[in-house]
Structure 1
Amino acid sequence: MNSRLVVTFTTLIVFLIAALAVPLGLAYASHRTNRLLLDRRADATRFAELADQASRDDDHTALIAELDRYADLYGAAVRIRDRDGTLIATAGRFDADEREATRLALSGQTTEDLPTVSPFGPATVLLAEPAGRDAQLSGVVLIQAPATQARRDVALVWGVLAVGALVALGYSVLAARRLARWIMRPVTELDRTTQAIAEGHLDARAHPGVGPSELRRLEERFNAMADAVSAAMERQRAFVADASHELRTPLTVLSLRLENLEPHLHAEGTAEFEEAMAELDRLALLVEDLLALARVEAGTEDKQVELAARVAVWREVYAAKGITLHTDIPEPSQAPDAVARIADIALDNAQKFVPEGGMVTASYDGAVLRVADDGPGLTEEERGEALGRFWRSGSHANVPGSGLGLAIAAELARSCGATLSLLPAVPRGLVVEVRPAAQP
């Protein structure tokens, strides 16, 4: 947008400068041509008088001498013909086509205009002046004058105009760039702010103060909208966190009371009691996961942990279930706490679904975390939905869980500037991959 504004302003400035410089240049060329015409016409008029006098005196000696001096001084060519077209006197090299000019002059017309002189031509100009007194024509004077000096004058003025136009264009482009930056400053600020908010920095705000008043008002309204959205999200997170926290106590009390009732149950009520306790445990797990999700959305500490030691804790869990846990994590290996928590979630899910005798591989190269298993995996459609909250596959109905684990992992990935992906493993299974957003 900034470049397009600069191009637009520059184009308008170019048209404006051209609209000023081109007419000025053409006007000076016309002026210089007219001055050349007047100068040479005065000479032609004087030669016409001399030619008429020489014709009356029948003596052309003085006229020829005057023509030779003029040709040597100005580098021009002069011809004088009588009214029958016969050449009477000549001086200098005359190579112009004089027929039309001679015809007009013998009809009593003098040369009224010349081709406009420019740096590119013409090299010479031709003037014709009738000679005679009253209505009696005695002949015609033809002058082929060089336009070298006129062309130099026009070239000099055009050069000055061109340099002035370039200088004006340069300053105008600088002014256009500053103007475009001034106009686009609020837009750039809004772009920076929206990017920061999209990256999870909900406290980012635009800084109004520079730019058009309409765009400054847009910044202020954007900040007000961001404040309202941020406050609404904060209230939502606070509600989820408070509700989850407040539910923990009554759930704990309810669990204790149910356990205290167990000795007083009849044998036929044992099954129902165990089902009730299982649902209570599931509800307690759901509350814990909701509280964890609310904490993640509220922000995590940017601290580093030892990932290899964190993953090693799971070896006993996997060994108890007959699952092989292979790690490819160098020691020591520092990783953000969010990445370690994602590894915990992925390993916890894998040990639930990988059958006995299976294998899970966890690897980390300092940037990318991969947890791959050879379990049943997920279909392409399921992988697209699995990061949603409370999503559970139809085939996992009997597996304990709240459906929030991968949603929490996705939030953790966003909190540390990474992306979480679910990929198919070969030949079967699932890969949980956490990759920094900047990496291709």
Structure 2
Amino acid sequence: MTRRLLASYLSLVLLALLALELPLGYVYARGELNRFTGAVDRDAVMLAELAEEIIDAHSTDMLPGLAADYAHRSGGRVVIVDRKGAVLADSGASAARGRNLSQEPDIASALRDRSATGTRRDAGTGAEEYYATMPAWSGTSVHGALRLSHPLGPVQRRVHEVWLALAIGGACVLAAAALTALALTRWITRPVHALERAAAQLADGRLAPAPVIDDGPPELRRLAATFTRTATRLHHLLQTQRSFASEASHQLKTPLTALRLRLENFEPYLDPRAHDSLDEAIGEVERLDRMIHGLLALARLENSATTPEPVDLDAVVADRAATWAPFAAEQQVHIAVAGQPAGPAVAVPGAVEQIIDNLLANALRAAPPGTSITLARRRTEHAAELHVIDQGHGMSATERERAFDRFWRAPGTHSDGSGLGLPIVRRLARAGGGDVTLQEAPGGGIDAVVRLQPAAPAEDRFHAGRPRAVARFAAHPARAPRTAGATAGARVPGGSDVRT
């Protein structure tokens, strides 16, 4: 903005200088040339009259002295010819006397009683000169002609000096205007830059001391004051929401845990026929617990401003596959890692681990015993891809699209999921500039495709050993569904539940 304002000011000043100096220089140059040619024309007329009198008096021997005297005083060159064009006097070449010049256009025109003026190159020096050729006549008869020529060099030098003076003056004015414009531009843009920095900090989740702007235009000072009030209010709302999320996590966890324990304590005193209803009630309490933690996880995600960084996608995939393998084996499901190494990808810290945990939990709920779940990696020109492919019953195109809606669950499902897992997965992927979609897997099932921005090799910052699960967004791990082949109450290794 500073450069644009400065360029605007200097452009206006430059246009004003050009509008003033160009006409001034042109008028001066034309006036100087007109004064010079007018003086030469007057002198030529005067000398032609004197030459006519001398020729008429048959005193032609006086003509060389007349020409030499004028040339000495003015610096011009005088050539006088008789009525036939023979040179009577030439101040520039005394040896040219007697040479016939009647064929030269200006001399021929003057001998026919017509004056001639113009510019030409001097045959001897090659310099440009202005000439005025006048007839020496008396009454109706022409006795001869006179050519007076002056070099244009002195006039042109004066004109060039004036143009140079105008250019130097314009440059000085432009420099002074640049300094003034720079000071004015900084005065105007200083509060804008302060507001820009404050807005960037606010977008990153940080609220430094609000910018105190006591200079600049009044409109910008009012804008800064309004921004400060808005930022303070927004910061207060964010702090309140974060406090609610942290406090609600503790305050809601305690009564739900107590409720579940009370329900479990009823089991010895209930009729065996009511045990199924008790298990369903406990399952609903657990689902409510997971739903609350999922909502709190989404709130933390939406309020956080974590900076993405390079992550070793292959290392994370291998780690999570090894962690989930024992639990998958309990359900007679095999977890396989396939594809070529995908290399580093960009994601917020801990997001890739959380995404894989959620998608594996989702796939395990859908995978029948005796099938496999494939973690396939692939790197393209524009993305590092991870495919989590199960061999379950699959979903329709409409269901795959709606699966990312909060609290949505597939019709007819009996899963105890909260319907928040896939929204969390998408939010985690998009926080790092990526995305996630559900596609139909070959042969049935779901292919959950995670596309992340690839990281340049120079930015690789891989950590040895198991990747850190930093900033774990879902605070409560999901529980396995109460189905045959799974231990009741067993915990999924990390992540919030996903099955919609």
Short-chain TM bin = 0.7 to 0.9
TM-score under structure 2 length normalisation:
0.65
Residue aligning to 1:429:
446
Does the Cα contact within 8 Å between 2:107 and 2:145 map onto a contact in 1?
no
Residue aligning to 1:390:
407
Matches within 5 A, 1:267-286: 269-286=274-291
**Structure 1 position 232 matched with structure 2 position 237:** yes
Change (3 A) 1:58 1:216: same
Instruction: State the Cα deviation string for residues 215-258 of structure 1 (Å, max 9, x = none).
Output: 34323422322332232233234334433432222222222333
Residue aligning to 2:489:
none
Tell me the amino acid that sits aligned with residue 314 of structure 1: W
- Aligned pair count reads 419
Deviation at residue 90 of structure 1 after TM alignment: 6.2
Tell me the amino acid that sits aligned with residue 44 of structure 2: A
Residue aligning to 2:247:
242
Distance across 2 between alignment mates of 1:336 and 1:363: 20
SS at match of 1:361: strand
Residue aligning to 1:118:
none
Distance across 2 between alignment mates of 1:398 and 1:378: 15
Change (3 A) 1:88 1:299: closer
**Structure 1 position 408 matched with structure 2 position 418:** no
Deviation at residue 39 of structure 1 after TM alignment: 4.5
Matches within 5 A, 1:33-72: 33-37=33-37, 39-41=39-41, 43-44=43-44, 46-48=46-48, 50-55=50-55, 57-67=57-67, 70=70
Instruction: State the Cα deviation string for residues 255-290 of structure 1 (Å, max 9, x = none).
Output: 233333344444664454343333222112212323
Distance across 2 between alignment mates of 1:10 and 1:153: 29
Distance across 2 between alignment mates of 1:104 and 1:238: 109
SS at match of 1:343: helix
Change (3 A) 1:391 1:183: farther
Tell me the amino acid that sits aligned with residue 321 of structure 1: Q
Does the Cα contact within 8 Å between 2:198 and 2:211 map onto a contact in 1?
no
Q: Relative to total residues, which structure has the larger helix share, 1 or 2?
A: 1
Q: What runs of 5+ residues in structure 1 fail to find an aligned partner?
A: 116-121
Instruction: State the Cα deviation string for residues 181-240 of structure 1 (Å, max 9, x = none).
Output: 664454455555545555x43536774647544234323422322332232233234334
Matches within 5 A, 1:60-209: 60-67=60-67, 70=70, 74=75, 76-79=77-80, 91=90, 97=106, 123-127=128-132, 142-162=147-167, 165=170, 183-188=188-193, 190-191=195-196, 193-194=198-199, 197-198=202-203, 200-203=204-207, 207=211, 209=213
Instruction: State the Cα deviation string for residues 67-94 of structure 1 (Å, max 9, x = none).
Output: 2665698453545788xx9999564698
Tell me the amino acid that sits aligned with residue 154 of structure 1: V
Q: 1:360 aligns with which of 368, 371, 374?
A: 374
Distance across 2 between alignment mates of 1:277 and 1:287: 15
Does the Cα contact within 8 Å between 1:77 and 1:145 map onto a contact in 2?
no
Q: 1:259 aligns with which of 241, 256, 264?
A: 264
Instruction: State the Cα deviation string for residues 22-80 of structure 1 (Å, max 9, x = none).
Output: 13322331342244236435633652452254156332321244226656984535457
**Structure 1 position 337 matched with structure 2 position 345:** no
Distance across 1 between alignment mates of 2:26 and 2:111: 29
Change (3 A) 1:58 1:243: same
Structure 1 stretches of 4+ with a deviation exceeding 6 A read 85-88, 98-106, 128-133, 137-140, 300-306
SS at match of 2:407: coil
Change (3 A) 1:129 1:300: closer
Distance across 1 between alignment mates of 2:157 and 2:434: 71
Change (3 A) 1:295 1:18: closer
Distance across 2 between alignment mates of 1:326 and 1:218: 58
SS at match of 2:266: helix
Tell me the amino acid that sits aligned with residue 324 of structure 1: H
Task: Identify which range, 279-288 or 97-106, moves more after superposition.
Answer: 97-106
Q: 1:318 aligns with which of 293, 305, 328?
A: 328
Tell me the amino acid that sits aligned with residue 313 of structure 1: T
Does the Cα contact within 8 Å between 1:346 and 1:371 map onto a contact in 2?
no
TM-score under structure 1 length normalisation:
0.72
Deviation at residue 15 of structure 1 after TM alignment: 1.0
Tell me the amino acid that sits aligned with residue 312 of structure 1: A
Does the Cα contact within 8 Å between 1:354 and 1:373 map onto a contact in 2?
no
CA RMSD of aligned residues (A): 4.9
Tell me the amino acid that sits aligned with residue 283 of structure 1: L
SS at match of 1:29: helix
Distance across 1 between alignment mates of 2:57 and 2:434: 111
Distance across 1 between alignment mates of 2:194 and 2:110: 72
Change (3 A) 1:161 1:382: farther
Does the Cα contact within 8 Å between 2:9 and 2:181 map onto a contact in 1?
yes
Tell me the amino acid that sits aligned with residue 248 of structure 2: A
Distance across 2 between alignment mates of 1:420 and 1:390: 20
Distance across 2 between alignment mates of 1:233 and 1:437: 32
Distance across 1 between alignment mates of 2:151 and 2:260: 116
Tell me the amino acid that sits aligned with residue 205 of structure 2: H
Change (3 A) 1:228 1:392: farther
Does the Cα contact within 8 Å between 1:419 and 1:437 map onto a contact in 2?
no
Q: 1:292 aligns with which of 281, 294, 297?
A: 297
Tell me the amino acid that sits aligned with residue 243 of structure 2: A
Instruction: State the Cα deviation string for residues 138-177 of structure 1 (Å, max 9, x = none).
Output: 9875534332321233234324534554576577567657
Deviation at residue 324 of structure 1 after TM alignment: 1.9
Does the Cα contact within 8 Å between 1:373 and 1:425 map onto a contact in 2?
no
